[in-house]
Chains A and B, each alone.
Chain A
Amino acid sequence: MRKAWYAIAFMIVISPLFGIILANMVGYHEPLDVAAEMLHLKDISDKINWTPFYDYTVPGLPDTIGYIVSGVIGVAVVYVLGKVIFGGAKE
């Protein structure tokens, strides 16, 4: 199990390379975002936003660092919820 957590940590550390740096350099997006762009649809996500970590950013931090911090936050949330949900199922 320890190796799995090393792999998770590694993925989080290198994630800005794929999620921010290469994305900005090459200009790629997810398929649905590309479709929306082609159709000139207006992105209203930021107008109905409910979280300070919108799109894996952290207020006050550069995008790359924010992406890593978001990864840590996300993994922590998933871990705690997983412990509660799957741990509760054993009872």
Chain B
Amino acid sequence: MHIPDGYLSLPWIVVTYIITIIYLVIAWKKARAQLTPEKATAATTLAAAIFAAMMLNWPIPGGTSLHMVGGALAAILFGPWIGSWILALVVATQCFVFHDGGITALGANILNMAIIDVWVGYLVYKVVRKVVPGEKGIVLGAFLGGWLGIAIAGAAAGVEIGLSPAFPYGIEITLPVMFTWHLLLGIIEGIITASVVYYLVKKGKWVIA
């Protein structure tokens, strides 16, 4: 999911940085109003947990791998504004400290993982919760939110790369490939998201919206 340096053309670098910075400023204002001392501590802990979870690369047949992103999980537990900041913190740390994802692609990587994944996961969860009542709705919503969140985020990465002349293949190749890949890989993300949300609800440790 982390786009390295050299994949994106200059217009995409600029556009994704601008969108991401504007969004994060807005999200910060919204998140500020929602944060309590307890939520601040829990958000920091979740960010650390997502960082650690992203280091676990799960092998997938065919020579590729998946790691958890956690956008839907953060959004379900904290709402999309705080959720976006949790993911942005993790993705920026990965970039600046470990060179995981390019500096030129940081805007795009935050856009994909901290904005698109977070919002798709959150909205899917909310829709399912409205349609399916009770605990089933929570678990199904978390599963589908985690699954589709990462799939759409992968598709967004495919669009950004495919529309960049710096990458040899166009969007007609990169979009279906990235979407299909992440649609398959995202099943694990969905299972993990649903499992964590279910655990917290069962233990009565979290009030889920």
Contact = CB atoms under 8 A, between A and B. Distances in A.
Interface of A: 1, 4-5, 7-8, 11-12, 14-15, 18-19, 22-23, 26-32, 34-36, 39, 41, 43-45, 48-51, 53-56, 67, 70-71, 73-75, 77-79, 81-83, 85-87, 89-90
B53 interface: yes
Contacts of A39: 168-169
Interface of B: 1-7, 28, 31-32, 35-37, 39-49, 51-53, 55-60, 63-65, 67, 82, 85-86, 89-90, 93-94, 96-100, 102-103, 154, 157, 161, 168-169, 177-178, 181-182, 185
Contact of B48 (A30, A50, A75): A75
Contact of A30 (B1, B47, B102, B177): B1
B30 to A, nearest CB: 10
B63 A41 contact: no
B35 A89 contact: yes
Given A11-B55, A18-B58, A23-B65, A4 B182 contact: no
A69 B93 CA distance: 15
Closest 6 CB pairs of A and B: A82-B44, A86-B40, A11-B52, A15-B55, A28-B65, A89-B32
